[in-house]
Structure 1
Amino acid sequence: MLLPTAAVAAEASAGSADATVAGDREPTQLQKLDVVAQREDGYTVPPSATGTGLVLSPLETPQSVSSIGREQMDDFGLRNANDVLALATGINVEKIETDRTYYSARGFDVVNFQVDGLGLPFTNGGAEGDLDTAMYERVEVLRGANGLLSSTGNPSATINFVRKRPTEDLQGSAGVTVGSWDTRRLDADLSGPLNASGSVRGRVVAAGQDGDSYLDRYALKKHSIYGIVEADLGDRTRLSVGASDQKNDATGGMWGALPLYYSDGSATDFARSTSTSADWSHWITEDKRGFLELRQDLGADWQLTLALNYRRLDNDAQLFYVYGTPDRDTGLGLFSYPSQYGSTETQKYADVYATGPFALGGREHELVVGVKWGRVEADQVSWYGNDIGTPLPPLQDWTGAYPKPRFDAFSDGAQFDITRRTAYATARWNLSDALKLITGVNHTRIESRGQNYGVQHAYDDSKTTPFVGAVYTFDSNYALYASYAEIFNPQTELDRNLQVLDPITGSNAELGIKGQWLQQRVNASFALFRAKQDNTAEADTYVGTLQTYKPVDATSTGYEFDVAGRIGTHWQLNAGYTQLGIKGDDGRNVRTYVPRRTFKLATTYTVPQWEALKLGATLTWQDAIVRDQQAVDTAGNAIYTRQGSYALLGLMAQYAITPRLNATLNVYNVTDRKYINSLYWAQGYYGAPRNTALSLTYRF
């Protein structure tokens, strides 16, 4: 799809090939594995293979890793990816529109969303639609460059969604939720053995949601279903096969958002419900996935894993973009840009890897070695009508009443494919009982062909990226660590000479200390980081109607602190603080729309005298952000948009009516704070006012 400006080149990245985080890889020795429900103990961060391919505890991992698990999602009603990541340390959720979101971490865009450690970077730079969380057990966040396993991307973060898995025993749940703006939701989860011996197990998760919004004319209906069958094919072999389908039907969605300044340079201030959508606007997305995993015990504690994944993402949209700068007195100066879009993207990827120990120098070490293949095929079409540029009434009077065009004036589009081939290896060297060294290398070759909105989509190159990390453990509960990783990301954006920009190159250096207490139920970390990203495409000028870009170098430095787990018999906590600065190669502050300081908190407390009652709260805070609008007012002065610092408070109360049935009430934005969701683009819209959700859940 096009960005909502005249014939803007799509942001498809030639790095959009299989970029992998092994977030749910299991330890070696298949016969030793227990089939468990995967519901972690409270808010504790579990062991993970994210970043290295080796299953390591947070204390053993030489990078910043955090996790938001199923219990926290259920406690606070985190029913989509944006809700979850809004509470993740160091992650900024950039809600640019109602149905499209960008993300950033450590100053740079996050482009890698993965499921069970496999996935592709966003083809269009961000997430489209509303990703439901019903089918996931937890969401892992690896901050910094993930070049060892991802190869392509930015030195920001990788988000890994870990699917629910079948359980040995029969168990299930069913829930109903009602909320503000007539929101209604049903979800169900059933898991257990499919034969008498329990060697074949299955799980099915389904969810459906329908509701209006605080925004004029906006409504969202979505449903998802996920199923998996897992079979032990003997003592040494396990096969898992599964599929999922999620469909979103959004009506009255915004394409672009509200103008943030008047022609005299002063800031606009609309009602929070204001929307630029037409009454016929809609955006339908459908995300179908299938996967197969085969794990084979090779003996001597070695294990071979084959993972195959398929994804098809379809979009069908008729949208209404509003552009221009309104006059402060009359509200006039806005114009129409209706358009229709259709796209189909298919992704196929495979990962084959072996893990196991080896002896050298009288000590046992660990090794991961693997190869990957990924391919994405994209077909996008955009249609336009003859009425682009029609003057519109002031937004204060806008009702969405606009004649639906025929979208037959002209069309444009993109058809391209990208193939990636990767070989990688990781070794964990047991230098002493206290000191571990992790080294790795990734070699990736990317080829692409086709055309992207009139521009040839041709690329063929390869790059080798290293990783090195060290962890020194002392007093069994503390560890010092350091790591360095590189990453790269080919681009398709053109400069003003219509030449393709060089690939993004990035690196991340990190130094920190970690701790774990209370039988590893509490994890904490403090990290100093320096992330560098060169050749990032930023909007420059137009050549005709084509948006062109310029390469920008930037360096982000800062620190992060987070703590998660059960810090008392009745008290759970997941909290983090990030502070950073972002400088361009000329030493000036850049990307000022990214908050420099953020704080995230989610906590619950079970009342000892009344253990059926659990109380909780969430708090997110960010400091002020500013956007240079690259425009001048009527007096010739530069225009800047500023969103002051703000905090959002949420409160939760949960009551166990019976041991199997509980009711949960969540109140969001308790103080009813008015704020702009994001200044990532020149336009923006307001976040939701105070709202509530009441859930009733039965488990067996």
Structure 2
Amino acid sequence: MKQYSAIAKAVCIGLLASSSSVVLADDAKVNMEHIEVVGKHHRDVGATGLPLAIGDTPQSISIVDSEFMDFHDVNSAGEALVHSAGVYSETSLGNRERFVFSRGFEMNRFLIDGMGAAGRPSQTTLLDTSMFESVEVIRGSTGMLQEVGQPSGTVNLVQKRAYNGTGGAVSAEVGSWNRLRAEADFNTTLNDSGTMRARFVTAVEDADSFVDRANTDRTMFYTTFSADITDALQVSLFASYQDDGQGALSDGLPYQFTTGERVDIGIEANIYPDWATQDTQQDSLLGEARYQINDDWNVVARFHTSNLDDDKVYAGLWWHVEPNGDYALFANEKHVEYQSDRAEIGVNGQFSFLGREHSINFTLANSEFDEYQTTYRPLARPAGNLIAEHTGESPQAKPANPGFNYDAPAVREANIESQSARVAFNLQVLDNLNVLLGANHKDITSSSTNRNITSEFDFKDTSLYYGGVYKFTEQFLMYASYTDIFDQRQTYDKSGKLLDPVSGENKELGFRYSNQDDSLSVDIAYFQIDQENYPVEAGKHEDTSLIYYEAQSGIESEGYEVEISGYVTEQWYAAVSFSDIDMTNPNYISGRVSRVVPDKIASFNTFYDFEDFRIGGYLTYTGEREGFIGERNAEYVPVDSHVLGGFSAQYEINDDLSVKLNIHNLFDKEYDSKVAFYTVRPGTPRNYALELNYNF
């Protein structure tokens, strides 16, 4: 088996660098046998918009690359984030989307090649990983990068690029619960000189579930085109479309009877009707032009538009189940449209001053986000009996579709427009000390109509970023950074009024070590986050199920993260990470922030290469946390910690053909993955996948 290079030769796309993506070298990819990515400490990143190596960036950065995702059968962005250091990726009650947390707070900003995705973060976690080179996370505030700077971090999904050559791969996979999946990835050079290149990726999937009657399906198409117009000018285009469907949508199991006694029913039970469905369509179009003025200066212009359409017929428990089994469902039909547009132009350069080389980035950007949401109330309240529907030889049918009032929808509209100007410097003060200074000025106009309440706001804010990296030796360094927090969220109070922006500070101190050949790295970070006007979930509207929030201040988070990764030998790779946070919230609805996220999370993954065989696995640890029962005056209940394991093995039959086995939840651990409102989502039991892959 060919070795996976620790520092490979492939795509070098900046993490979160909306204006610092680099051009793919013509010879960057020579075959499709293994997808290789640039080693962790040699990536260009852009936490400040500057093209910096990770070692020169004073914030914590983690990368889950395509090699890891392919080997461990990770097929969505949300699944990839389970394995990212310092990140807690929690499944939704529907066991479909994921909520992602870092440093105690939800990560509500997902980017595609540095440009904002239209969907809510939970919806963006559905995106298929077959179109991405890596899933990358920068932890801490990134207000220097985008118009918002929320404290937990930002996820950047780095798309695959076309390379100079012809080749590809196809794969077919079968798995537990009738899971069928197929992928194809094809690249070609369009002319003899190699100046025009194209790539096409597609994935289709259909699967049942361990939950009765529940079914999911997915169709994804992705294509990209690059052309070298001249030696100095390159243009690229990236386009994707994904459709995710779900039938017999399950919202979890009833947690308890009205008496307080726990409901004991098999994890396979689906108490919800077949008419509870969801279909989510996401598309993205990104254009990029790069002009290399000379060896030191370049200009990058980019435009990105993305859309999300979500149609959902929802059915969830209205209240706890009665002792005799009677229950009522809350139902609605909802259609949501999101659109995000962003255009920007950036100048990157290097200059000499006082005998040293420094770098600068200046970027102008204009972005707009639109939301349109309609919710239809049911004509009657569906009701059933849990006992009659799940016992006996002829169980009672599920509640019928109540029909919906399409003449009187509840409508929510929102629009956010922003213009920003960003400047950032990387100053090489000493041979072993670089200082980063930056400012991002934003002018934001926000308007919304919700529950017949119109809110309009104009904000002006300048996010500041400063930090430094001091290298004790070529292998050992220390960094420190400070970043403003400014985040205008689409969150509303009970009356329907849009809440004011979140503000605060993010401070970080870290140490990094890497050996001379970068085969081993150690990262340690300490952080402290303070926030004002933070939106905390306060309840649901009874007529529409829309969540409303209250703004709270004095919320703090501090903790540390440790990540160690590298090659123990030339054949044996291992990585381990651990994070510990301490959240404080002096307000009366404190639990929705500080109690539902585990204080401690950890992960471990490893593989060992033989001549034609690779074997590996992973462990993830989720610490103790709490779930909440009810809504505004919720009761908090303990959720136990758990450890999940996975096993992966790949055998190369010949140079072109390989077979792979994956086992998830290796030890068949029984656990509760989420407890919220009136239901509990059991964790997915042990499951298998077998894949055949052909390269050409």
Confirm or deny a common fold (TM above 0.5): yes
Describe the SS at the equivalent of 2:618: strand
The residue identity in structure 1 corresponding to 2:324 is: T
1:465/1:679 Cα in 2 relative to 1: closer, same or farther (>3 Å)?
A: farther
Aligned position for 1:107: 104
- Equivalence map 1:289-304=2 (5 Å): 289-304=284-299
Aligned position for 1:568: 569
- Do structure 1's residue 647 and structure 2's residue 643 form an aligned pair? yes
Aligned position for 1:346: 339
- Do structure 1's residue 37 and structure 2's residue 32 form an aligned pair? no
Indicate conservation of the 8 Å contact 1:177/1:184, yes or no.
yes
The residue identity in structure 1 corresponding to 2:274 is: D
1:129/1:613 Cα in 2 relative to 1: closer, same or farther (>3 Å)?
A: closer
Indicate conservation of the 8 Å contact 2:415/2:446, yes or no.
yes
Aligned position for 1:618: 618
Out of 602, 607, 613, the residue aligned to residue 604 of structure 1 is: 607
Indicate conservation of the 8 Å contact 1:129/1:285, yes or no.
no
Indicate conservation of the 8 Å contact 1:509/1:531, yes or no.
yes
- Do structure 1's residue 259 and structure 2's residue 254 form an aligned pair? yes
Describe the SS at the equivalent of 1:74: helix
Distance in 2 (CA, whole Å) between partners of 1:182 and 1:22 is 40
1:524/1:679 Cα in 2 relative to 1: closer, same or farther (>3 Å)?
A: farther
Aligned position for 1:591: 594
Aligned position for 1:82: 78
Distance in 1 (CA, whole Å) between partners of 2:491 and 2:145 is 25
Describe the SS at the equivalent of 1:71: helix
The residue identity in structure 1 corresponding to 2:147 is: S
**C-alpha distance after superposition, 1:346-400 (max 9, x if no partner):** 2211121111101222211000110111112222111122112635435755877
Aligned position for 2:362: 369
The residue identity in structure 2 corresponding to 1:356 is: G
The residue identity in structure 2 corresponding to 1:263 is: T
Indicate conservation of the 8 Å contact 2:233/2:291, yes or no.
yes
Indicate conservation of the 8 Å contact 1:42/1:565, yes or no.
no
Indicate conservation of the 8 Å contact 2:119/2:308, yes or no.
no
Distance in 2 (CA, whole Å) between partners of 1:299 and 1:129 is 39
Task: Give the drift of 1:345.
Answer: 1.9
Distance in 2 (CA, whole Å) between partners of 1:517 and 1:304 is 35
Describe the SS at the equivalent of 1:324: coil
Indicate conservation of the 8 Å contact 2:215/2:247, yes or no.
yes
Task: Give the drift of 1:682.
Answer: 5.5
Indicate conservation of the 8 Å contact 1:64/1:144, yes or no.
yes
Ranked by relative contact order (alpha carbons within 8 Å, sequence separation 6 or more), the top structure is 1
Distance in 2 (CA, whole Å) between partners of 1:656 and 1:206 is 23
Indicate conservation of the 8 Å contact 2:493/2:549, yes or no.
yes
Task: Give the drift of 1:311.
Answer: 1.0
Q: TM-score, normalised by structure 2?
A: 0.90
Task: Give the drift of 1:448.
Answer: 2.2
1:575/1:680 Cα in 2 relative to 1: closer, same or farther (>3 Å)?
A: farther
Indicate conservation of the 8 Å contact 2:118/2:308, yes or no.
no
Indicate conservation of the 8 Å contact 1:52/1:426, yes or no.
yes
Distance in 2 (CA, whole Å) between partners of 1:122 and 1:488 is 20
Distance in 2 (CA, whole Å) between partners of 1:565 and 1:517 is 10
Task: Give the drift of 1:423.
Answer: 0.9
Out of 657, 664, 669, the residue aligned to residue 673 of structure 1 is: 669
Aligned position for 2:402: 405
- Equivalence map 1:254-293=2 (5 Å): 254=250, 256-293=251-288
Describe the SS at the equivalent of 1:127: helix
- Do structure 1's residue 318 and structure 2's residue 313 form an aligned pair? yes
Q: Which moved more, 1:152-161 or 1:410-419?
A: 410-419
Indicate conservation of the 8 Å contact 2:309/2:337, yes or no.
yes
Describe the SS at the equivalent of 2:521: strand
Aligned position for 1:415: 413
What is the RMSD computed on CA atoms of the aligned residues?
A: 2.6
Distance in 2 (CA, whole Å) between partners of 1:577 and 1:436 is 28
Distance in 1 (CA, whole Å) between partners of 2:41 and 2:182 is 28
Task: Give the drift of 1:582.
Answer: 0.3
Indicate conservation of the 8 Å contact 1:226/1:245, yes or no.
yes
Describe the SS at the equivalent of 1:406: coil
Task: Give the drift of 1:500.
Answer: 4.0
Aligned position for 1:132: 128
Task: Give the drift of 1:631.
Answer: 7.4
Describe the SS at the equivalent of 2:596: coil
- Equivalence map 1:21-100=2 (5 Å): 21-22=16-17, 25-27=20-22, 33-37=25-29, 39-40=35-36, 44=40, 46-96=42-92, 97-100=94-97
Task: Give the drift of 1:496.
Answer: 5.5
Distance in 2 (CA, whole Å) between partners of 1:128 and 1:681 is 23
**C-alpha distance after superposition, 1:92-129 (max 9, x if no partner):** 11212233322111000101111111114754x63267
1:631/1:118 Cα in 2 relative to 1: closer, same or farther (>3 Å)?
A: closer
Aligned position for 2:6: none
Distance in 2 (CA, whole Å) between partners of 1:573 and 1:137 is 21
The residue identity in structure 2 corresponding to 1:114 is: L
Indicate conservation of the 8 Å contact 1:105/1:156, yes or no.
yes
Indicate conservation of the 8 Å contact 2:630/2:676, yes or no.
no
Describe the SS at the equivalent of 2:68: helix
Paired residues in the alignment total 667
1:340/1:211 Cα in 2 relative to 1: closer, same or farther (>3 Å)?
A: same
- Do structure 1's residue 490 and structure 2's residue 482 form an aligned pair? no
The residue identity in structure 1 corresponding to 2:205 is: Q
Describe the SS at the equivalent of 2:563: strand
Indicate conservation of the 8 Å contact 2:41/2:518, yes or no.
no
**C-alpha distance after superposition, 1:145-184 (max 9, x if no partner):** 1111023142001010101111112221111111001101
The residue identity in structure 1 corresponding to 2:306 is: R
Q: Which moved more, 1:196-205 or 1:505-514?
A: 505-514
1:682/1:419 Cα in 2 relative to 1: closer, same or farther (>3 Å)?
A: farther
Task: Give the drift of 1:699.
Answer: 1.7
Indicate conservation of the 8 Å contact 2:455/2:497, yes or no.
no
Indicate conservation of the 8 Å contact 1:259/1:324, yes or no.
no
Task: Give the drift of 1:502.
Answer: 2.4
Q: Which moved more, 1:579-588 or 1:371-380?
A: 579-588
**C-alpha distance after superposition, 1:66-110 (max 9, x if no partner):** 101111011100011121011111111121223332211100010
Indicate conservation of the 8 Å contact 1:344/1:380, yes or no.
yes
Task: Give the drift of 1:277.
Answer: 2.6
**C-alpha distance after superposition, 1:600-631 (max 9, x if no partner):** 11211113xxx111110110011111134367
Aligned position for 1:475: 473
Indicate conservation of the 8 Å contact 2:272/2:398, yes or no.
no
Task: Give the drift of 1:300.
Answer: 4.6
Describe the SS at the equivalent of 2:143: coil
Report % sequence identity.
26
Aligned position for 2:4: none
Distance in 1 (CA, whole Å) between partners of 2:249 and 2:144 is 38
Indicate conservation of the 8 Å contact 2:190/2:198, yes or no.
yes
Distance in 2 (CA, whole Å) between partners of 1:122 and 1:345 is 6
Task: Give the drift of 1:344.
Answer: 2.1
Specify every segment of 5 or more residues in structure 2 that has no aligned partner in the other structure, as ranges.
Answer: 1-14
**C-alpha distance after superposition, 1:650-700 (max 9, x if no partner):** 111111111221111011111111112224656331121000001111123
Describe the SS at the equivalent of 1:197: coil
Aligned position for 2:221: 225
**C-alpha distance after superposition, 1:549-590 (max 9, x if no partner):** 322231111100112343421112232111111011369875
The residue identity in structure 2 corresponding to 1:474 is: F
- Do structure 1's residue 141 and structure 2's residue 144 form an aligned pair? no
Out of 365, 379, 384, the residue aligned to residue 386 of structure 1 is: 379
1:230/1:494 Cα in 2 relative to 1: closer, same or farther (>3 Å)?
A: closer
Q: Which moved more, 1:316-325 or 1:449-458?
A: 449-458
Describe the SS at the equivalent of 1:250: strand
Q: TM-score, normalised by structure 1?
A: 0.90
Task: Give the drift of 1:442.
Answer: 0.8
The residue identity in structure 1 corresponding to 2:272 is: S
**C-alpha distance after superposition, 1:282-339 (max 9, x if no partner):** 2111111111100001125101001111112111222222220124x4333x212222
The residue identity in structure 1 corresponding to 2:305 is: Y
1:247/1:465 Cα in 2 relative to 1: closer, same or farther (>3 Å)?
A: same
Describe the SS at the equivalent of 1:299: coil
1:24/1:149 Cα in 2 relative to 1: closer, same or farther (>3 Å)?
A: closer
